[in-house]
Amino acid sequence: MNRLISIKDISDIPAIYQKTPIGKLLEYHNLLMEHDTYERAQLLIGMCMDNRNSLRIPNLFSYIIRSGGANLRYSEFKVSYAIAVGEVKHIALIGHTNCAMVNLTSKKELFIEGLVNNGGWNKEWATEHFNQFAPMFEIGNEIDFTLTEVKRLRQRYPKVTVVPIMYLVEDNMLYIINED
């Protein structure tokens, strides 16, 4: 976790992000800054669908795409929409600790049993479903995947500022991922 930059004061926010929507996100969530009023989204937040992740941000402040592991590869049209029509110029890609998309193969039997018992699927369908999609959604290490996805998004959208952030479920705080 020494790759994470802790934000406990405004001065901890790197100068490049201060007075930007990324800085505001960190101020709202970590520093409990009083919420401003917004007429339109200031940024796009890509984050995991995990129910342990909850952001303290104002209404209308951001578009949010939730996807397992904060993997936006299969939500790219939505990303493009937020940039093209919503005119956002910043993306905060937020991974988190203890993500269930890490080491998916270890969850195969649980996944199959859950679809059979809770979803009404037969075992064969559930197994095929897992085998087909798990490789697409496996993220490996949370920090490394977030950095890789940030690099991909930067190449795809070169005029957009894309920032790697980690949400620690242990303390419910946001940390900038040091890219050096």
pLDDT, tens only, 86-121: 999 999 999 999 999 999 999 999 999 999 999 999
Q: What is the third-level CATH fold of 4-100+141-177? A: Beta-carbonic Anhydrase; Chain A (3.40.1050)
Q: What is the mean pLDDT of the chain?
A: 96
Whether the full predicted model's pTM is greater than 0.85, yes or no, is yes
| Residue 1 binned pLDDT confidence (cut-offs 50, 70, 90) | low
Sequence spans of domains, the chain: 4-100+141-177, 103-138
The crossing angle, in degrees rounded to 10, of helices 108-119 and 123-137 is 130
Q: What is the spatial distance between Cα 4 and Cα 87, in angstroms, rounded to a whole number?
A: 29
